[in-house]
A and B are shown apart, each in its own frame.
Chain A
Amino acid sequence: DSGVTQTPKHLITATGQRVTLRCSPRSGDLSVYWYQQSLDQGLQFLIQYYNGEERAKGNILERFSAQQFPDLHSELNLSSLELGDSALYFCASSEEGGSTEAFFGQGTRLTVV
């Protein structure tokens, strides 16, 4: 158990819909990272938040957004969903953003039908 909690574990929704994925980082960790893993793209970095502020942005689509709340939990919002958005979405956290290891949650498997 990494200490990072992601909910829900599984999500099935229709194209065009909007969903919210939730992540609770390890106690004391200030940074939260979101990754997408699909069969053809591998693990792709989406975005990082550090203590409530956006710190780094990767290959995140404009239809996707994220935020980190004062209690440090984070949400990833995915809208206007397409079939190609079906993937595993992982959240990770670390103490800071420096040379420390990141701890990954068990992921949310999103299926868009």
Chain B
Amino acid sequence: DAKTTQPPSMDCAEGRAANLPCNHSTISGNEYVYWYRQIHSQGPQYIIHGLKNNETNEMASLIITEDRKSSTLILPHATLRDTAVYYCIVAYSGAGSYQLTFGKGTKLSVIP
């Protein structure tokens, strides 16, 4: 079972920041938070991941609370092409093993 809870859907106006929340209250100390997205029926696309510090890359920012029980993915300037299902995943990255358990995700709709 997925270890995360996400809202099933969200809307965001084009050009505004999209803030996608995720609860992972049972996360353990060596588990990372990963975010992927899936546009229509394409293959999932990696966005960002983090352990405890906030992270930023060219696609998004990841804010992890100090107790690590929740996080927020921020798309700073959402475009129509960001309409997708966003998956928040908690995973242990042991040597040689990388098992991602996808939940139902959040369907983000970017509105013109």
Contact = CB atoms under 8 A, between A and B. Distances in A.
**Are A and B interaction partners?**
yes
Interface of A: 2, 4, 31, 33, 35, 37, 42-45, 48, 50, 55-56, 58, 88, 90, 92, 94, 96-107, 109
Contact of B96 (A55, A88, A90, A105): A55
Given A42-B104, A97-B96, 7 more contacts: A45-B99, A90-B44, A97-B94, A97-B95, A101-B34, A102-B98, A104-B44
A42 B103 contact: yes
User: Do most interface residues of chain B lie in helix, strand or loop, or is the interface mixed?
Assistant: loop
Contacts of A97: 93-98
A105 B43 contact: yes
A103 B93 CA distance: 16
A94 B98 contact: yes
Contact of A98 (B42, B98, B99): B98
Given A94-B98, A104-B44, A99 B32 contact: yes
Contacts, number: 71
Interface residues of B, number: 24
B43 A2 contact: yes
A33 B43 contact: no
B36 to A, nearest CB: 8
A92 B93 contact: no
A92 B43 contact: yes
3 closest cross-chain pairs (CB), A and B? A104-B43, A101-B46, A43-B102
Interface of B: 32, 34, 38, 41-46, 49, 51, 87, 93-104
B93 A107 contact: no
Contact of A4 (B34, B43, B103, B104): B43
B98 A31 contact: yes
B43 A48 contact: no
Nearest to B43: A104
A56 B99 contact: yes
28 contacts: A2-B45, A4-B43, A31-B96, A33-B100, A37-B41, A42-B102, A42-B104, A43-B44, A43-B102, A48-B97, A48-B98, A48-B99, A90-B44, A92-B43, A94-B98, A98-B93, A98-B96, A99-B32, A99-B51, A99-B93, A101-B46, A101-B49, A102-B98, A104-B43, A104-B45, A106-B42, A106-B43, A109-B41
